[in-house]
Amino acid sequence: MKRVKRFMPMALIALLLIGGFQSVFAQKAPTVIPEVVSSQGMVASAHPLASQVGLDILKAGGNAVDAVVATAFANGVVEPNANGLGGEGYIVIYRKAENKATSIDYRSRASFNPAKAGEKWPSYGHRAVAVPGTVAGLTTALEKYGTMSLAQVIEPAAKLAEEGFVVSDTLAGTISDNFKKATENPYLMSIIAPTGLPLEAGDVYKNPDLAKTLRLIAKEGPDAFYKGEIAKAIAADMKAHGGLIDENDLAQYKAIEREPATGLYRGYDIVSAPAPVGGFLLIQSLNMLENYNLKFLGFDSAMKLHLFAEVLARAFDDYYNVLGDPDYVDVPMKALTSQGYADAKAKSIKLDAMTSKYDKVDPNSEHWSTTHMSVVDKDGNVVALTQTLSSFFGAAVAVPGTGVILNNEMGNFNGKSGSSAYAPGKRMNTTIAPTLIMKDGKSFATLGTPGAMRIVPTLAQIVTNLIDYGMGIQEAIEAPRMYCTYLQGPGKTTIELEGAFFPKKTLDDLALLGYKIKSYDKRDLYFGGVQGIIIEDGQLHGGADPRRDGAVFGY
């Protein structure tokens, strides 16, 4: 469908008011990490050991799903602060032979045991834990779309847990930052602080109990986790410490295959994770941005950053007011991802002034912390997978004897009402959005990021970096980022950005527009850790984020 592009005349006036723009990214910029190029297969993840596991699977004849599942299990070992068997996630899969995309929801969900009236979920501890989905999600993906056995894809992870690996500066930092809450769980302390002091960079991290758990799952399948010995251990630990999850909750958990959320941006098809997560937020943001000539505005102009703040604030209205578990509420996904709905929301944006109050648009009124990995195989199958514990080290609860660190996803119900409110057995909202991009029926990119509420803003910036500004994947990942999704009006709204990499004039112009500025002096972990691969001219180009321990390997 051909779209009529609008470019607001006010943009030119605003540019004159602000004094033009500069663009340090007009030409290809050198990158901190070299872009990786290969022709057969590629894996990008947040840790080199996990990426190597995935690459080994591809070289052994596995497909993209085999590789991403192996990478995910391994990443749960080597990035234990961000994901693992006690967490959850979402996977988006494109199968070239069938020319079809699908997604698997393995979000955690609340216990069927009712909470106390008006309960506010704690940020950590047993009461914060939701039923984990990782094992169900990864095994479902492997069974339906992989070619290898569960034992084949799990053993590399088990070996890493058993033999150990060297702690990086990034992992050491997260252990240190979360050490205080970990001290309340002696078993977790035995894993991340075996001498009583937090592991430091250069130390060796081992989790032999997790190795045994992984091998038990490899032998007995997901039932070992949801109905067998591990389930009993989780339920017993919950009961002993006031948690809600019991054996029935675990036994009834299922991963769910869902139709992906889809949209179109400047001729590129966007395929992302649907409700109850954030793919539609990305699509809706891009739909609004399509009304503007971003290239003309300039990558690092105050005008472009202001536009992103306005667009993202309007998209996030629906995260709070409309999104929910589609098994519990009717989520109007087609309306939320339609161009007409986005155009209606964008009408109130002014490029020369910040808005703090605007009329909300009803999507039914017209027909309109975490980790990521990306894989492409030699047959053209493409996968994007994002999984999480929610906060770093989740609930700071590890189940004795299992090596499993549990999530703190229940906190995602706090402050939510209507469609996103808590209910027993319900899956909570989050903003994770593993995403594929297609062009003319062919795969163009697979990407995703951690970063909590920064996930969608970061991905919107990466997509526009690639499509509007013509950056390579590594350049797009390393480019400086911003975050602002809540507008309170001039003098009250804070825009956060990696200010050390923007011209001083841009920061000054944002201040003139009324923004308070929180500037970071480096590429910061706060803004996520994008891993991505693009496919151009028969070659795979991989990018990994220097904000984390990202690594991309290909052959």
Burial of 231 (0-12, 13-18, 19+ CB in 10 A): buried
The answer to whether 531 and 523 are in contact (CB under 8 A) is: no
Roughly what angle, to the nearest 10 degrees, separates helices 208-220 and 229-240? Answer: 130
The answer to whether 436 and 271 are in contact (CB under 8 A) is: yes
Question: Position of tokens 């001219």?
Answer: 537
The answer to whether 115 and 422 are in contact (CB under 8 A) is: yes
The Cα–Cα gap between 475 and 466 comes to 9
The Cα–Cα gap between 377 and 65 comes to 9
Provide φ and ψ at 337, rounded to 5°.
Answer: -105, 10
Task: Pick the catalytic residue from 370, 402, 430, 435.
Answer: 370
Instruction: Give the closest residue to 456 by CA, choosing from 466, 448, 468, 445.
Output: 448
The Cα–Cα gap between 266 and 273 comes to 20
Q: How far is CA 252 from CA 3, 109, 125, 247, in A?
A: 46, 11, 23, 9
Angle at 313 between CA 264 and CA 82, to 5 degrees: 80
The answer to whether 213 and 398 are in contact (CB under 8 A) is: no
Quote the tokens at residue 362: 């009803």
CA 497 to chain centre: 19
Quote the tokens at residue 36: 């990786």
Quote the tokens at residue 462: 């990466």
CB atoms within 10 A of CB 465: 22
Q: How far is CA 158 from CA 203, 233, 387, 436, 523, in A?
A: 19, 19, 18, 29, 33
Quote the tokens at residue 440: 């003319």
In sequence order, the 6+-apart residues with CB closer than 8 A to the CB of 305 are: 482, 495, 497, 506, 510
The Cα–Cα gap between 548 and 198 comes to 19
β 516-519/494-497 pair status: parallel
DSSP for 95-161? ETTTTEEEEEEE--B--SSPPPTTPPPPSSSGGG--B--HHHHHHHHHHHH--S-HHHHHHHHHHHH
Q: How far is CA 70 from CA 37, 201, 392, 477, in A?
A: 22, 25, 22, 24
The Cα–Cα gap between 402 and 273 comes to 30
The Cα–Cα gap between 125 and 19 comes to 52
Task: Say whether 435 is catalytic.
Answer: no
Q: Please identify every residue annotated as catalytic.
A: 370
